[in-house]
Every structure is written in C-alpha cells, then in structure tokens.
C-alpha cells in the first residue's frame, strides 16, 4: 500500500520541478485520477495550472453540467468538442483505431488550448494499469498507447503513473477530496465510444448514454459495484406493441475489483436484472433486448473495447 503523506510530498515536488515557471495544461474529467492530479498540481504550482474539461460528446448523462458545478471554483475551461470527436471517429470500427483517433484528438485540442493560454507542459492522470494494458498490447489507453508520437509540449508530467486505482483513492482521501470523487466509479478516457461495438454515431451514443444512466440508477446505491455500465453490442429482433422491431442489443456489465487488473461479475438477483431490463427496453424505444455479462477478467476485459 502507498504511504499517502510521503507520496503527496513527492508528487508535489515532482510536478513543481518538472513545471518550473511554465504553465501546465491538464484534462480534468472529474474522475478520481484527474481530480487527484489537479489537487496535487494546485499545491505544487497554483495558478500555473490550466485545468480543461473537454466535452467530447461521448460523456455520461448530465456529466458536463455535473463537472461545471463540482469544479465551479477551479477556473475550469470547458471545451465543446463533440463535433470534432464524432468527425474523427466516422467510419472507424476497429477498437484500437478508435482509441488512437480519440487520443490524437485529445492531444490536438490540448495543444490548441495550450497555445491560447501560454501553457507548455501537459499533466496527465495516467495510472499503472493504464501503462500495463497499453504496453502489454491488451488495449491502448488514450493517454498512453493512444497518444500520437508527435506532440508539441515540452514535456508530459504523470505523477500517478506508479499507482493502482485503490492507491489513487487513498491519496484522494489524504488530499481531502469529497467522497463523491474519491469513490467514483472508473469511466474510460475514450468515454462511451468504447461501449459501442463498431462505428460510433450520435444515435448509438444517445442510446447507450440513456441505458448507462438506468444501469447506474439501478445498481450503484444498492450494490456498490466497482464499476457498472451498459454497452451497445449489436442489433437483434424484438416485438414492441405487436410490431416487429430490429433494435439494439444492450449488454449490462457490473463487476467488483480492487485495482482493475482482475474483476469478478456481480451475481445480481433475477428480480434486479428483470427490473433493469424492463426499464431499458421501456424507456429507450430503439432497444430490442438486454443481456447480462457474467464473464470475469480475465479472460474478458471490463470494458467491451
């Protein structure tokens, strides 16, 4: 386990030494990793930090409004880049190519924003599992294997690169961050794009966003999963109102884990599964069926792509 006080002191020094007198731009998503980075950087360099929230159009329901409210006092710059991300993803079906396209777009946006603010350094919330999965070829994380090789920043600062997720949560507690942030479920950097199998479109994202919100409403408070979500995995036939439907198949995933390197599916009661499936098919017109994923990690990854 991490020595929290010692780590905080070392991370603050690392950020301060790396930044020098330069301004530092960072992506603040509202997750525990980026929030811890922001708190550490605020201690280290104060107003030299330029936090940016990029609305990719691939975020959870009401996420942008939540982030703006939660970090209202952080001088947060909000960039609406949904059109840019959908354009970058058009026609792409391969999971790795999706992640790389998203990583490329993130970097180009940060470079653009850095020029506007005079920032020359990039701060990222990369954690150890991100590095392991990217370097091991399991999947490219947008902030590691998905990053382009040609970046315009003088350097990249990654103070959490040797920590697991549970250790990051400990550091969040040591920094006094709100419990809402400290214990928030992981959400992938590429957003809902990796919860849509095949090409990403605005229609598919709208469906999976609503399904994801229903899953969280049904499971988070009662079962406290390490992670739970919905994914759009294809099309299937169904019947609604005595009319044949060729609609979306939604897969629900809910797991427990300590650090994300391994995970076990939650064995949910049938009544819960039935209630959740009924809500998803009733509230989202285009959904024909709902399935529940009981595969552990390994052999499956937690996310679908």
The pLDDT value recorded for residue 135 is 58
- Flag whether 34 is marked binding: yes
Q: Is 29 annotated as a binding residue?
A: yes
Tell me: is residue 136 an annotated ligand-binding position: no
Question: Does residue 174 have a known ligand-binding role?
Answer: no
**Across residues 136-157, what is the average pLDDT?**
63
- Best CA proximity match to 184, nearest among 159, 218, 220: 220
32 known ligand binder:
yes
Q: Please indicate if the annotation marks 69 as binding a ligand.
A: no
Task: Output 35-39 pairs: Cβ under 8 A, ≥24 positions apart.
Answer: 35/172, 35/177, 35/181, 36/125, 36/160, 36/168, 36/171, 36/172, 36/175, 36/177, 37/123, 37/124, 37/125, 37/159, 37/160, 38/74, 39/172, 39/175, 39/177
Q: What is the mean pLDDT of the chain?
A: 92
pLDDT at 241: 85
Comparing C-alpha atoms, which of 216, 244, 246 is closest to residue 230? 216
- The Cα–Cα gap between 163 and 102 comes to 24
Return the pLDDT at 30. Answer: 87
Tell me the average pLDDT across 26-36: 92
Q: How many CB atoms lie within 10 A of CB 121?
A: 23
Render pLDDT for 278-288 as a digit per residue (tens, 0 to 9). Answer: 999 999 999 99
Burial class of residue 267 in the structure, from the number of CB atoms within 10 Å of its CB (0-12 exposed, 13-18 middle, 19+ buried): exposed
pTM value surpassing 0.75? yes
User: Using alpha carbons only, how large is the chain's radius of gyration in Å?
Assistant: 20
Cβ-count burial of 174 within 10 angstroms (0-12 exposed, 13-18 middle, 19+ buried)? middle
Please state which of the ranges 129-133, 157-161, 251-255, 294-298 shows the lowest mean pLDDT.
129-133
Residue 74: predicted pLDDT: 83
| List of E strands, the chain | 23-27, 49-55, 77-80, 119-123, 155-157, 227-240, 243-256, 264-265, 287-292
pLDDT at 146: 46
Is residue 30 marked as binding?
yes
Over residues 133-150, the mean pLDDT reads: 52
Q: What is the pLDDT of residues 223-246, one digit of tens each?
A: 999 999 999 999 999 999 889 999
Contact status, residue 232 vs residue 196, Cβ threshold 8 Å: yes
Q: Dump pLDDT digits (tens) for 246-273.
A: 999 999 999 999 988 999 999 999 999 9
Question: What's CA 52's distance to the chain center, in Å?
Answer: 15
| pLDDT value, residue 134 | 58
């Amino acid at each position: 386990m991490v020595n929290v006080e010692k780590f905080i002191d070392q991370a603050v020094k690392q950020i301060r030494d790396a930044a020098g007198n330069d301004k530092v731009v960072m992506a603040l998503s509202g997750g525990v990793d980026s929030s811890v980075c922001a708190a550490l950087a605020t201690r280290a360099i104060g107003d030299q930090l330029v936090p940016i929230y990029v609305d990719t159009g691939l975020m959870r329901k009401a996420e942008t409004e939540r982030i703006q409210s939660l970090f209202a006092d952080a001088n947060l710059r909000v960039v609406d880049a949904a059109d840019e991300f959908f354009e970058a993803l058009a026609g792409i079906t391969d999971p790795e190519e999706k992640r790389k396209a998203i990583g490329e777009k993130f970097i180009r946006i940060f470079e653009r924003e850095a020029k506007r603010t005079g920032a020359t350094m990039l701060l990222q919330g990369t954690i150890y599992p991100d590095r392991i999965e990217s370097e091991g070829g399991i999947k490219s994380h947008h902030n590691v294997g998905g990053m382009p090789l040609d970046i315009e920043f003088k350097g990249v600062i990654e103070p959490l690169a040797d920590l697991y997720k549970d250790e990051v949560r400990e550091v969040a507690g040591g920094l006094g961050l709100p419990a809402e942030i400290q214990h928030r479920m992981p959400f992938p950097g590429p957003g809902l794009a990796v919860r849509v199998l095949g090409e990403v479109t605005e229609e598919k994202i709208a469906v999976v966003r609503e399904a994801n919100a229903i899953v969280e409403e049904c499971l988070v408070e009662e079962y406290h999963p390490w992670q739970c979500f919905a994914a759009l995995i294809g099309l299937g036939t169904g019947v609604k109102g005595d009319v044949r439907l060729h609609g979306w198949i939604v897969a629900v995933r809910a797991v427990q884990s300590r650090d994300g390197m391994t995970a076990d599916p939650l064995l949910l009661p049938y009544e819960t599964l039935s209630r959740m499936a009924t809500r998803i098919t009733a509230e989202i017109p285009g959904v024909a069926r709902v399935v529940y994923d009981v595969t552990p990690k390994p052999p499956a990854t937690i996310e679908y792509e």
